[in-house]
Structure 1
Amino acid sequence: MRRHWRMNKLTTSLDFMMANLEVRNHCELFSVICEKAVEKGFILSGFCGDLIEREKIYPTGLETVIPIAIPHVGTNCVQSFFSLATLKDPIEFNNMADPDETLSVKIVFLFGIVDPSEQVHILRKISEIFQKKEILEAISAAEKDMDLMDIMKKELEDLIA
């Protein structure tokens, strides 16, 4: 008998889709998203610090057609969630492939997970997006939060709720 593994969906909302966000660095970006997630009850107060520490040890910048970052952590998370931010001005993230190299990132997919065993599946689904030049270009060009939500609902329909 074949078993089907069912992953919990990542909660998101328009509050977690941020087009042309103005931040100076990744710590400020994390703070903006974490504040929203705390208000919604998705994370505990230690989540943001965990995210910053994880980023120092395991950088999440990726050199794609449009450089992206995929910061994530599985601690101090009460409800798995997903957020997407496009940045008015790129910010620096260290490269996942070469931590000594910095990338000027314009698109950030940030998520928190309750069950760390789901991380690989989530990253696999998100990687399908950043392998498609036209999707990254559409995300980068989005001017409104709702535009980002529409793209994500289409591209990650089985992953986000």
Structure 2
Amino acid sequence: MMNYKFIPELVETNISAKNKEEVIRFLAKKLADRKCVSSHYSELVLQREKEYPTGLITKGAVIAIPHAFDPKTKGNNIAIGILKTPVGFKHMEDIDETVPVKIVFMLAINGSHEHMEMLKILMQLVRDEELFKKLQSISSKNEICKLLNEYIETLES
């Protein structure tokens, strides 16, 4: 397992967005402001989203995991956006279906091995219905990170 910590500076709760483009641009800007990705990361993500949609229905919530490969990515980071009201993302398993996404995990991972490791961690996270119920009820960025980081530690032990 990769050593990863969620950080409050990359978490946003109660986001108001009209569509997935707004959410993607917002979270990409958070990553770019911290010098994790290049300033055009949102464009790379939006382009990839057209071919490989990332909306996913899980037991606990409808999520999206948008990402792109950017040679300027530094480190391994995830920006989390919890939406006030869901926005439509194309379903990862059926490109013709749109799903109402409530939580967005935007990956900015450096390296394909690390990328696969992070996706494995997220897939384990999304199977935990209770965790997602808690996640959606917390408004504190610190509490969200604490919850997710403690969960990851249980996976790694």
State the TM-score, normalized to the length of structure 2.
0.88
Letter in 2 for 1:45: S
| Per-residue deviation, 1:148 | 1.2
Deviation by residue 1:100-155 (Cα, 9 ceiling, x = unmatched): 00000101111111112322211111111110110111111112222211211112
Q: Is the 8 A contact 2:6 2:148 kept in 1?
A: no
Cα pair distance change 1:158/1:72, threshold 3 Å: farther
Shift of 1:41: 1.0
The TM-score with structure 1 as length reference comes to: 0.86
Note the 1:28-47 alignment, pairs <5 A. Answer: 28-47=22-41
1:73 partnered with 2:59: no
Contact 1:55 1:71 in 2 (8 A): yes
After TM superposition, give the deviation of residue 158 of structure 1 in Å. Answer: 8.4
TM-aligned CA deviation for residue 37 of structure 1: 1.6
- Give the 3 Å change call, closer, same or farther, for CA 31–10 of structure 1 in structure 2: farther
Match of residue 139 from structure 2: 143
The aligned runs of 1:1-161 (5 Å cut-off) are 7=2, 9-10=3-4, 12-65=6-59, 66-75=61-70, 76-157=72-153
3-state SS in 2 of match to 1:120: helix
SS state of the match for residue 105, structure 2? strand
Alpha-carbon distance in 2 for matches of 1:104, 1:150: 26
How far apart are the structure 1 equivalents of 2:51 and 2:117?
Answer: 21
Runs of 4+ residues over 6 Å off in structure 1: none
Gaps of 5+ in 2: none
Q: Is the 8 A contact 1:94 1:103 kept in 2?
A: yes
> Which structure 1 residue ranges, 5 or more long, are not aligned?
1-5
Provide the rounded CA distance (Å) in 2 between the counterparts of 1:78 and 1:104: 30
Letter in 1 for 2:148: M
CA RMSD in angstroms comes to 1.9
